[in-house]
């Protein structure tokens, strides 16, 4: 596997990473009750609600302690299934994976809002656009705000108490106006918002960069397996990522699923982030080897809920 720091594919992934969050010289680690130089880590599972397979795998991740956080795709068909699991097993650290795209070849969804209210967010067949580029070309900010707010409210209505906001495929960073909506919702709901790093300035369009400069940066490092590389095993790839994590708040994004007929159908023609890929992620993060690596690199697991609890007034 090949590991990357995500910056080169800004709009292809959930985005995080910004300078360490500090107020009055106090680091986030200290505010959470850890030493100033502690290496904190959120192990975060994306795409909850995408499929039953993802929900089952994510449940296994939470129950084993392999993950400390996840985020739900509210428009997806299997979101209510996970919401029921959440209600039975809360508290769980779950955020909203704000969704404006439907990228799979034959598995699609539209919005929570009525189609007439969000025309600019939908393709000719009434589904979300398949790419971030199409979102940027068509989405009206007012319609996006209506839909994203509806996603948050639907999750709350089904019993989920979100701990943060992030963005599926980086779609809410497609235009400066969408970025403004994203940050506005974080402030309104008093939730940490995952934003791209200031160190990625060259990869972010200048207009978006100016808006993002107003955001509170909390995360120091983001890590995720990105593409197949036969020369490197899952174990080697994750070992290198964990070894590279330094003091501050790190986030490791994983994509969990069971490699079954359902997930194979959902992800057809997508070997990267496909069914077998997600099974490998599940197998590794729930393994003893992963636990041993966390200990070897002195990484302290934390959650977004802990961070939310020390945010204070935003």
Q: What's the pLDDT tens digit per position in 100-109? A: 999 999 999 9
Alpha carbon 264 to chain centroid distance? 22
Q: Which of 95-109, 208-222, 226-240 reaches the highest mean pLDDT?
A: 95-109
Is the whole-model pTM more than 0.95?
no
Give 84's pLDDT tier (boundaries 50, 70, 90).
Answer: very high
pLDDT in the model for residue 227: 60
pLDDT at 201 over 60: no
CATH code of domain 2-309: 3.20.20.370
Which residue has better confidence, 72 or 23? 72
User: Counting beta carbons within 10 angstroms of the beta carbon of residue 72, is it exposed (0 to 12), middle (13 to 18) or buried (19 or more)?
Assistant: buried
Give 271's pLDDT tier (boundaries 50, 70, 90).
Answer: confident
pLDDT at 5 over 60: no
């Amino acid at each position: 596997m090949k590991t990357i720091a995500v910056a080169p594919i800004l709009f292809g992934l959930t985005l995080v990473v910004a300078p360490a969050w500090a107020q009055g010289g106090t680091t986030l680690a200290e505010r959470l009750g850890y030493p100033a130089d502690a290496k904190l880590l959120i192990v975060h599972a994306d795409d909850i609600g995408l499929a039953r397979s993802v929900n089952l795998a994510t449940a296994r991740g939470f129950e084993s302690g392999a993950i400390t956080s996840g985020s739900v795709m509210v428009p997806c068909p299997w979101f209510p299934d996970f919401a029921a699991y959440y209600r039975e097993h809360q508290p769980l650290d779950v955020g909203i994976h704000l969704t404006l795209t439907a990228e799979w070849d034959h598995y699609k969804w539209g919005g929570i809002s009525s189609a007439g209210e969000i025309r600019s967010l939908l393709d000719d067949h009434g589904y979300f656009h398949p790419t971030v580029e199409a979102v940027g070309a068509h989405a009206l900010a007012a319609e996006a705000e209506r839909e994203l707010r509806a996603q948050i409210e639907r999750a709350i209505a089904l019993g989920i108490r979100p701990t943060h906001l992030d963005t599926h495929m980086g779609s809410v960073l497609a235009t400066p106006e969408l970025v403004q909506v994203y940050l506005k919702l974080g402030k309104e709901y008093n939730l940490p918002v995952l934003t791209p790093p200031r160190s990625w300035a060259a990869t972010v369009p200048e207009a978006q960069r100016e808006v993002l400069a107003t955001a509170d940066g909390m995360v120091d490092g983001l890590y995720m397996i990105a593409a197949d590389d036969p020369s490197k095993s899952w174990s080697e790839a994750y070992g290198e990522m964990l070894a590279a994590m330094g003091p501050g708040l790190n986030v490791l994004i994983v994509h969990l699923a069971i490699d079954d007929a359902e997930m194979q159908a959902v992800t057809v023609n997508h070997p990267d982030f496909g069914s077998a890929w997600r099974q490998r992620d599940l197998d590794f993060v729930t393994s003893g080897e992963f636990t041993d690596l966390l200990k070897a690199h002195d990484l302290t697991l934390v959650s977004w809920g802990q961070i939310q609890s020390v945010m204070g007034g935003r």
